[in-house]
Every structure is written in C-alpha cells, then in structure tokens.
Amino acid sequence: MENSAEIITKTIRNRRSIFPPSYIEKDIPKEIINTILENANYAPTHKLTEPWRFIVFKGESLNKLGGFFSERYRQVTAPESFSQARYDAASEKVLKSNCVIAINVELHSDKIPEWEETAAVACAVQNMWLTATAYGIGSYWSSPGILKELGQFLNLEENQKCLGLFFMGYHDAPEAPARRTPFENKVTWAE
C-alpha cells in the first residue's frame, strides 16, 4: 500500500496540461468540482487574505463564455478579414470543455503586495490541478492576452483581476512522460 508521500509524489509527477481537443463527452459531477475548489481553498495565503476568487462555467454558461470569445473576434476583425471559421474556432476550447473556471485574484493592497496575492492564487490553482489529476480529469491554465477584457466580461470588482481560465474535462489523452531537466541543475546548496 502506498503511503501519503508516495501518493502525492506520484500525483505531482503525473500532472500534465491536458488540452480541450483531448476532452471527451463525459460530465464532471458537481461534487467533484466542489472538491477541486475546496482543495484550492487550502492554499497558503499570507495574512489569511484568501485572495482566490473563482467563477464556474458549466452547462449553458459555457455558451456565454464561448460567445464572449467569438464576439471579441468579430469586434477586432475588419469586415474584409472576417472568417466564419475563425469566429467559430474562437469559442472551440470553451465548448469542448465540460467545465471552465475563471481564475481571479482579489487584491488587498493595504495589507499584501500584489505579487504575493498572485502567488497565493497560483498555489490554489496547483491544488486544483493536482486534485483534477487525482480524479482523472484533464485540465490546464490558460492566460489569454485579453485578461482585462475578460475581467470586464466577468464583472469583476475594482480590486479584482482575472488571471486566466482553468479548462477541465475527462480525456482520452495518452500518458506522456514529464519533460523536465534535472533539479540538480537548478539548485545550489549554501555552505
């Protein structure tokens, strides 16, 4: 039987970015999504600000999010350059996903520097990623170049920022080995 250290090591080392083209049509139960988000809530947070804020898109709301990306393509594309295929493709990642979670940070600039709040949110997302991996759910964090516009679409508060989207879906992607260089190349032992 594996002990806790072996289980967490295996989960960390098997975590991969799994992209929507590999997602299959299988529903992620709300209870599992809640577990993923509850585990995110246990991330480290300086001064207990708990700066992570999430907006879950599932079911019909995925169409609204996908529509945002398609309409944005229409808005920034000259009519003579418009392509229906590109318009449709703009929402493809969203619509191939069973669930997309907007990753947001709530800043407490009177207490904590922004980088620390962002780091806390990144830790929360890592907890989400590891939990999704443990459930056999593919996922990845995408930070499109239109985060400010995405934040406006999400109606975020003035002290909040969108840091990206977390795409999730059961998948049929083959196992792939991690591509990492040896950790010894990145560590210096102080004497």
Distances (CA, A) of 130 to 77, 123, 156, 158: 38, 11, 27, 30
Class level of CATH domain 18-54+98-173: alpha beta
Q: What is the pLDDT of residues 35-91, one digit of tens each?
A: 999 999 999 999 999 999 999 999 999 999 999 999 999 899 998 999 999 888 889
What sections of the chain are H helices per DSSP? Answer: 4-14, 30-40, 60-76, 84-89, 92-96, 114-134, 147-153
Residue 1's pLDDT band (cuts 50, 70, 90): low
Length of the chain: 191
Give the residue extent of every domain in the chain.
18-54+98-173
Q: What is the pLDDT of residues 108-155, one digit of tens each?
A: 999 999 999 999 999 999 999 999 999 999 999 999 989 999 999 999
Phi, psi dihedral angles at 79 (to 5 degrees): -55, -35
Residue 188 has pLDDT above 90, yes or no: yes
Q: pTM for the complete prediction?
A: 0.94
Q: What is the pLDDT of residues 158-180, one digit of tens each?
A: 999 999 999 999 999 998 888 99
